[in-house]
Structure 1
Amino acid sequence: MEKEIIPSNLSQSFRFFSWKDSLENVVQHVGQGDSISVSGMGNVWHYHPEVELTFFTEGEGFRYIGDDICAFEAPQLVLLGSNLPHHWTVKRSSGFCIQFPFDAVSPLANLHESIYFRDLLQEANRGLVFSRECRDEVFLLLQHCVQCDDLERLVRFFQIMKTLCDAPAESISSSEPQAISKSHSAMMKKAVQYIVENATQEEMTIQRVLSYVGMSRATFSRHFQRAVGQNYTQFVHSIRLVTARNMLINTDDPITQIAYASGFSNISHFNRLFKERWSMTPRALRLLTREADLLV
């Protein structure tokens, strides 16, 4: 996991970004109609002290927020609290992002009016995903932010925060982030990326990860749990199960083939873990999905 250092801009109390096609190619909007190209980190596991509101207008893939891993499809609106680890694996996407500090010295936190969304930001420490009604309203406000000047953009920002405060939302992660040292943070980022890229390989083992990052098992296990909110086995199983679930819904591949393709070598083990996670067997999920398709 890598700590993202977001450049400070004393002329702005928050930063507004948008991207098209790739999370790596992001533009920051400043002034009226002006923009600056910046490097995005949304496609790598990272965290930062700023609060972040991310709106995917296009794209589909997998979402990693705190200890939660799931498939996602745009449009999707999420609010991430300070230092909550996150990243998305998605090939092509478009969207908007707002980032703002909210600590003792930040401009927004020192406004009296900020008391109205302090509870919201506290809840966002586990990540929040918002309903369609809220999403549609926020989308219009974000579109206006692209071409307006800084003062009008600030007005839109408070309109967005008011909309979020009034809207129902679901928590994403089951736990809040825990601090880890800078040196171990870099190692965890390296480990997480390696696991995400290789988790569906049957021969993937913790020993391979330990060799890759050069850590002892005890040290790795301790810091991985703090960084990710799950132990190694839970994390790998989560990736494999979400991958399998996505394939069950979106392909006609046989269930046994899906289990193997997701990294499981034992079908009984796969079925048991799948039922523990979603309270139904893989076969039941596929039947439910097919019945829903017939009703459309």
Structure 2
Amino acid sequence: MAVLLENIQFASNENLRLLHWQASAKSLQSLEASGRRIPVAGVGGRWHSHPEMEFTIFQRGSGTRYVGDHVGTFGELDCVLLGGDLPHCWMEAERTDGYVLQFQLPAEHPLYRLGGAEELQRLFYSARRGIHYRFSIARRALVLLEAMATRSSLARAGLLLELLALLHDAPRSQTTLLSRGQIRVGVNEATRPCLEAVVQWMLEHFTKPIELEEAIKRSAMSRATFYRQFLKQTGKTFHTFLTDARLVHAHQLLTQSQRGIAEIAYASGFGSLTRFNAAFREKFAKSPREVRKCVDSALAGPRGSGA
């Protein structure tokens, strides 16, 4: 599936861009080394990619994260390192605040002549699948980004190296590779606008009935070409992509609300409770009822012995 290609513009003589947002990632500010704050229209809520690498951290809020063929939820202090050309999207469920650091270090960059260059290249290779970092790493990374917001260009370069060292040195127990495969997007300018619109339509309407025939019609492609391109660019079939989006949404409702299981199933786009239960167990290795029970137990906490 083709994606929106974001055109990232760095300031003169810069190879990084630091963005900050409050309330919604659709409205960002570019934090320039000069101290200026320049409004930027965010495309994070759309299925998109760009050649530059990106480190995103959500300070507050929650929603659904799409990275390559991965679909999952995000919450407070959630951070991900993305390799270049890896398609991604963040669908906010509530108000969010955060930072985005976008940077480019081409093969000829002098950085690779420094000690530790091989370690850096290994980090970037893993980032082509997207790397998620746990809370302890996110908290330290946030301090670096907040410092970068007020520093000069030279100081920012040093802080970028410090951030990359932090991410590289993170224990394996604190990291997770998100996408099962390395999905690198090739852009066909003739078909990209229509195909990007299909993906966005799915992400915005998966709680409602969505038919394959309608998606094919919207793409203006033949059935065979649609099947092939969708699998190539998302790593999933149309039906798997749609089902995963619905299941992650349902899991979020189960853990963050008290709505009944049947109500959640239908509100997430499933027309059959039996099918919902089976698909949910297959993806999460637990039934919806078991997940709800775990949440209720956690909220109740340990029982005291009384006075």
> Displacement, 1:185?
3.4
Where does 1:84-95 land on structure 2 (aligned, <5 Å)?
A: 84-90=86-92, 91-95=94-98
Please name the residue that 2:140 is paired with: 137
Mapped partners of 1:226, 1:138: distance in 2: 33
> Displacement, 1:62?
1.0
Query: What's the C-alpha RMSD, in Å, of the aligned pairs?
Result: 1.8
Please name the residue that 2:305 is paired with: none
> Displacement, 1:7?
1.8
Mapped partners of 1:57, 1:295: distance in 2: 26
Mapped partners of 1:24, 1:125: distance in 2: 24
Structure 1 residue runs of 5 or longer lacking an equivalent are none
* Residues 1:222 and 2:224 are matched in the alignment: no
What is the letter of the counterpart of residue 296 of structure 2? R
Q: Identify which of 270, 276, 282 aligns with 2:282.
A: 276
Q: Identify which of 38, 41, 49 aligns with 2:40.
A: 38
Mapped partners of 1:283, 1:92: distance in 2: 28
Structure 2 residue runs of 5 or longer lacking an equivalent are 303-307
Please name the residue that 1:97 is paired with: 100
> Displacement, 1:176?
0.8
> Displacement, 1:87?
0.9
User: SS of the counterpart of 1:98?
Assistant: strand
> Displacement, 1:9?
3.8
Please name the residue that 2:164 is paired with: 161
User: SS of the counterpart of 2:246?
Assistant: helix
Please name the residue that 1:185 is paired with: 192
Provide closer, same or farther for how the CA distance between residues 29 and 252 of structure 1 changes in structure 2, counting only shifts above 3 A.
Answer: closer
Contact 1:178/1:226, CA 8 A, preserved across alignment: no
What is the letter of the counterpart of residue 73 of structure 1? G
* Percent of pairs with identical residues: 30
Contact 2:86/2:185, CA 8 A, preserved across alignment: no
Query: How does the TM-score come out when normalised to structure 1?
Result: 0.93
Please name the residue that 2:82 is paired with: 80
Mapped partners of 2:34, 2:186: distance in 1: 39
Mapped partners of 1:47, 1:232: distance in 2: 19
Mapped partners of 2:142, 2:218: distance in 1: 42
1:117-149 alpha-carbon deviations (Å, 9 max, x no partner): 111111111101112221111111111111111
> Displacement, 1:115?
3.1
Query: How does the TM-score come out when normalised to structure 2?
Result: 0.90
* Residues 1:198 and 2:200 are matched in the alignment: no
Higher deviation after alignment, 102-111 or 81-90: 102-111
Higher deviation after alignment, 3-12 or 78-87: 3-12
What is the letter of the counterpart of residue 27 of structure 1? Q
1:14-67 alpha-carbon deviations (Å, 9 max, x no partner): 222212222122222222422322222111110011110111112211111111
